[in-house]
């Protein structure tokens, strides 16, 4: 390397490129790449292969190649997996449809309130974001306590207001509402700070021009704010849909996936909990891998559809 003294970077790179193999860049990327290969690239292959087997980690000797059977079971009514898989998947879609609009509109409202030059706005921003730094386990445990029908804070205040006090964690649809409210409380601040930064990036001159043209507040919101936010809204919708698909800890702590349903499977059991139960409670890891690949394919398709939808509208 000392031979390079005096030479410019460009000529040195050219010399090295021609004369000998240059190992240095590879040494720089190697440490991360090793872990990437073991825990991201390889599992992709391993997972696909595993989904073609009947596999129990406790009884590896009983491993059996079953071809596409694990997948077929998910799409054949009458199998053990069919009702519980689709129950959990439909539950998850319900949760996505309930939580994502709230996790866009509530943070947007919060961001609009804070996008003013009011004194103290940074304190409010700090408070609103705070729950996001907590573990999902803390949030789930806190939701479990606050929504207790006996002695929980929510029902205490509902009683004080003379309202009905539902059994939040054990009856429908209240169990879903409790999980959704807890989730919004936890992550609204995250979406809010991103939307707020995007709002502040919209040039004030656009609003001024619109005001001079006689646009009302609503027209300015509709024709200046929304178009200005569109790329960030797309980003937020995609990551929020993905986050909602990954719901796990809130029902794990609050409802344990229940209440139980006559058709089998819990009414608030999300797909992550079904995969967890299939793989780590029933120890059917091949089937669990097949489930996770089907759901991942759905998630990728949904993200792509979101992307296309918003891109098309932009043009």
| H or E element, residue 65 | strand 64-65
Q: Is 138 in the site for other proteins (CB under 8 A)?
A: yes
Site residues (CB under 8 A) for other proteins, limited to 44-73: 44, 46-47, 50, 57
> Taking the C-alpha atoms of 286, 288, 293 and 296 in order, what is their torsion angle to the nearest 10 degrees?
-170
Nearer to other proteins, 84 or 285 (CB): 285
Binding of residue 124 to other proteins (CB under 8 A): yes
Closest approach, Cβ 32 to other proteins, in A, equals 4
Angle between helices 81-114 and 285-314 (to 10 degrees): 40
Residues 291-310 close enough to bind other proteins by CB under 8 A: 292-293, 295-296, 299-300, 303
Residue-wise DSSP of 109-131: HHHHHHSS--TTHHHHHHHHHGG
Nearer to other proteins, 80 or 153 (CB): 153
- Token pair, residue 87, equals 């129950």
Pairing of strands 64-65, 53-54: antiparallel
Closest approach of Cβ 93 to other proteins, in Å?
15
User: In terms of CB distance, is 207 or 248 closer to other proteins?
Assistant: 248
CA pair distance 206, 136, nearest whole angstrom: 40
* Sole binder of other proteins in the list 103, 108, 210, 272 (CB under 8 A): 272
Strand partners, 22: none
> Is residue 168 involved in binding other proteins (CB under 8 A)?
no
Q: Binding of other proteins at residue 162 (CB under 8 A)?
A: no
Query: For other proteins, how many residues bind (rule: CB under 8 A)?
Result: 106
Q: Does 212 bind other proteins (CB under 8 A)?
A: no
Q: Please tell me what DSSP assigns to residue 266.
A: B
- In the complex with other proteins, which residue's Cβ is closer, 98 or 114? 114
DSSP state of 247: -
Q: Kindly state whether residue 247 participates in binding other proteins, applying the rule CB under 8 A.
A: no
Q: Which of residues 8-37 bind other proteins (CB under 8 A)?
A: 8-9, 12-13, 17, 22, 24-26, 28-29, 31-33, 35-36
CA angle 62, 63, 66 (to 5 degrees): 125
Are 54 and 63 in contact by the 8 Å Cβ rule? The answer is yes
Question: Applying CB under 8 A, does 216 fall inside the site for other proteins?
Answer: yes
């Amino acid at each position: 390397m000392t031979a390079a003294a005096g030479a410019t970077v460009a000529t040195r790179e050219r010399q090295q490129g021609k004369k000998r193999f240059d190992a240095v860049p590879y040494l720089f990327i190697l440490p991360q790449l090793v872990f990437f290969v073991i825990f991201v690239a390889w599992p992709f292959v391993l997972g696909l292969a595993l989904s073609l087997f009947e596999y129990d980690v406790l009884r590896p000797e009983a491993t059996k190649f079953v071809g596409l059977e694990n997948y077929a079971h998910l799409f054949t009514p009458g199998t053990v997996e069919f009702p519980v898989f689709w129950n959990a998947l439909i539950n998850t879609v319900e949760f996505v449809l309930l939580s994502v609009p709230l996790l866009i509109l509530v943070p947007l409202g919060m961001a609009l309130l804070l996008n003013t030059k009011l004194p103290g706005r940074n304190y409010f921003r700090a408070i609103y974001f705070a729950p996001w730094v907590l573990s999902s386990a803390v949030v789930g445990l806190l939701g479990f306590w606050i929504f207790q029908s006996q002695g929980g804070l929510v029902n205490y205040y509902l009683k004080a207001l003379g309202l009905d006090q539902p059994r939040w964690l054990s009856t429908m649809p209240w169990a879903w509402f409790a999980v959704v409210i807890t989730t919004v409380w936890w992550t609204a601040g995250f979406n809010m700070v991103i939307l707020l930064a995007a709002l502040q990036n919209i040039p004030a001159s656009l609003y001024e021009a619109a005001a001079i043209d006689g646009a009302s507040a609503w027209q300015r919101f509709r024709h200046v704010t929304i178009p200005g936010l569109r790329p960030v809204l797309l980003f937020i919708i995609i990551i929020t849909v993905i986050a909602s698909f990954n719901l796990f800890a809130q029902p794990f702590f609050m409802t344990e996936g229940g209440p139980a349903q006559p058709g089998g499977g819990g009414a608030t059991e999300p797909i992550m909990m079904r995969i967890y139960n299939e793989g780590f409670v029933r120890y059917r890891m091949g089937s669990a891998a097949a489930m996770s690949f089907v759901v991942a394919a759905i998630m990728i398709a949904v993200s792509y559809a979101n992307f296309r939808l918003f891109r098309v509208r932009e043009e």
